[in-house]
Amino acid sequence: MSEIKYEIIKRIGVLSKSASGWTKEINLISWNDEDANYDIREWSPDRQKRGKGVTLSMEELSALKALLNNIEP
């Protein structure tokens, strides 16, 4: 299996942090030298491990934002 290559272009923010130190974050990431997309996933404290996540294009992120704006607390 080939190695997955990634580059964090911009760290946007931490959504939550677990007791073990893992953080759920949203970042702008380029995977395997492709165009960067927005990415939500968990990262270990040393950033050597990552959990499964979801990657969104700008259009998908905008659609998600519009949907979330319609949620009533």
Q: What is the pLDDT of residues 17-47, one digit of tens each?
A: 999 999 999 999 999 999 999 999 999 999 9
Is the predicted pLDDT of residue 2 greater than 90, yes or no? no
Chain segment 5-23, per-residue pLDDT in tens = 999 999 999 999 999 999 9
Instruction: Count how many residues are written for the chain.
Output: 73
Q: What is the pTM of this model?
A: 0.87
Q: Would you say residue 1 lies in a domain?
A: no
Instruction: Answer for the pair 11, 22: CB distance below 8 angstroms, yes or no.
Output: no
Q: Would you say residue 36 lies in a domain?
A: yes
Distance CA 29, CA 67 (A): 23
Which pLDDT does position 3 carry in this prediction? 86
Give the residue numbers spanning the domain of 34. Answer: 6-69
* Residue that the structure tokens 């953080």 belong to: 23
**Sequence letter at residue 31:** W
Domain total in the chain: 1
Closest among 5, 13, 62 to 31, alpha carbons compared = 5
Q: Would you say residue 12 lies in a domain?
A: yes
Is the predicted pLDDT of residue 73 greater than 80, yes or no? no
* Residue that the structure tokens 């299996």 belong to: 1
The CATH number linked to 59 is 2.30.31.70
